[in-house]
Amino acid sequence: MAVQSVGVIGAGQMGNGIAHVFALAGYDVLLNDISVEAMQAAVATIDKNLDRQVSRGKVSAEDKAAAMARIRTTTEMADIGATDLVIEAATEREDVKNKIFASVLPYLKPETILTSNTSSISITRLASRTDRPERFMGFHFMNPVPVMQLVELIRGIATNEETYKTLVGVVDSLGKISASAEDFPAFIVNRVLVPMMNEAVYVLYEGVGNVRSIDESMKLGANHPMGPLELADFIGLDTCLAIMNVLHDGLADTKYRPCPLLVKYVEAGWLGRKTGRGFYDYRGETPVPTR
């Protein structure tokens, strides 16, 4: 299967990063969102991030201009249907993803590969709601996409070998490294990472340490580049909670119970960097712990 054009559904943090790396690698990219403003913001973000890469000598000005020229936007699913590879990069809610797939299916070419950037939801179950479970896969990029090298490839029970090999080749063409994961809740990275962050929230909840001491302890004591609470804010506390719920529901083990404090922050709308407050308050010049 030759992939030349890519449709990215969802112009948020992950979607704009995915569009960025595909356009830079020479693919024609069609970015879709229900919000025109979100798509305009995504293109502006891609432009700014490419400028940063140019200033650091990682990308030439010519390559940047060519990448930007390869990105188009659309609100129409019919346009997305003409691409060779579709990547759903919407919010981490199964009902939202199923609605997206249902809306794009009537327009897809028979040979189009359909994928989800889900970080935790069953690929087999998502694929079963489509007309092409054999050409459906989990295509999980890490955040921030232009920087992180790993892409998790998750096969559903019906995914065929040709689809898998095609996506391995696509990942190689992006200059990234693929890791194959079995279709179990949260796959590899988030199965290990998110419960660690949830445990850090428990440490805060139980008063063992405050936000600053927890993050500094893991950065200086375990050589982590970011503390677990800082990282949770970066990912989005709503996303962390959604993944913990998938783990708890899917594996029925109490060790995956979301911390009540994490639930409370999400209920308050304090979702991290994207809302200005989470475990840190980002509304000033420097982040300040909220507990």
pLDDT tens digits, one per residue of 202-214: 999 999 999 999 9
Nearest C-alpha neighbor of 137 from the set 124, 146, 121: 124
* 26 and 152, same domain (yes or no): yes
Question: Choosing from 16, 32, 119, 178, which is the catalytic residue?
Answer: 119
Please say if the pLDDT value at position 1 is more than 80. no
Mention every residue, 6+ apart, whose C-beta is less than 8 A from residue 285: none
**Is 92 marked as binding a ligand?**
yes
- Known catalytic residue at 134: no
Nearest C-alpha neighbor of 93 from the set 70, 69, 118, 73: 118
CATH number of domain containing 133: 3.40.50.720
Mean pLDDT along residues 176-184 = 96
* 24 and 126, same domain (yes or no): yes
pLDDT at 232: 98
**Mean predicted lDDT score pLDDT of the chain:** 97
Nearest C-alpha neighbor of 85 from the set 167, 151, 146: 167
- Known catalytic residue at 190: yes
Question: Choosing from 32, 190, 230, 248, which is the catalytic residue?
Answer: 190
| Domain residue limits at 275 | 191-289
Q: Structure pTM?
A: 0.89
pLDDT at 47: 97
* 175 and 67, same domain (yes or no): yes
Please say if the pLDDT value at position 262 is more than 90. yes
* 63 and 152, same domain (yes or no): yes
* 175 and 233, same domain (yes or no): no
- Known catalytic residue at 119: yes
Q: What is the rounded end-to-end Cα distance, in angstroms, of the chain?
A: 52
Q: Which of 127, 162, 182 is the last residue of a domain?
A: 182
- Cα torsion angle, 157, 159, 165, 166, sign: negative
Please say if the pLDDT value at position 34 is more than 90. yes
* 98 and 141, same domain (yes or no): yes
pLDDT at 88: 98
Q: In the chain, pLDDT over 90 holds for what percent of residues? A: 98
* 172 and 246, same domain (yes or no): no
Question: Choosing from 20, 152, 230, 248, which is the catalytic residue?
Answer: 152
> Domain count of the chain?
2
Confidence tier at 42 by pLDDT (50, 70, 90) = very high
* 139 and 232, same domain (yes or no): no
Q: Which of 163, 182, 201 is the last residue of a domain?
A: 182
- Known catalytic residue at 152: yes
| Angle in degrees, 0-180, between the axes of helices 237-251 and 260-267, rounded to the nearest 10 | 130
In the numeric block, which tokens belong to residue 135? 């050409």
Say if residues 18 and 87 touch (Cβ distance below 8 Å): yes
* 138 and 13, same domain (yes or no): yes
**Is 274 marked as binding a ligand?**
yes
CATH number of domain containing 221: 1.10.1040.10
d(CA 290, CA 110): 51
* 74 and 171, same domain (yes or no): yes
Say if residues 188 and 194 touch (Cβ distance below 8 Å): no
* 29 and 157, same domain (yes or no): yes
Angle at 13 between CA 7 and CA 18, to 5 degrees: 35
**Is 143 marked as binding a ligand?**
yes
Nearest C-alpha neighbor of 125 from the set 2, 17, 249: 249
What confidence tens digit (pLDDT) does each residue in 147-163 have? 999 999 999 999 999 99
**Is 68 marked as binding a ligand?**
no
Question: Choosing from 120, 122, 140, 178, which is the catalytic residue?
Answer: 140
Say if residues 173 and 200 touch (Cβ distance below 8 Å): no
Q: Which of 142, 165, 182 is the last residue of a domain?
A: 182
* 23 and 167, same domain (yes or no): yes
- Judged on CB neighbours under 10 Å (0-12, 13-18, 19+), 291 is middle
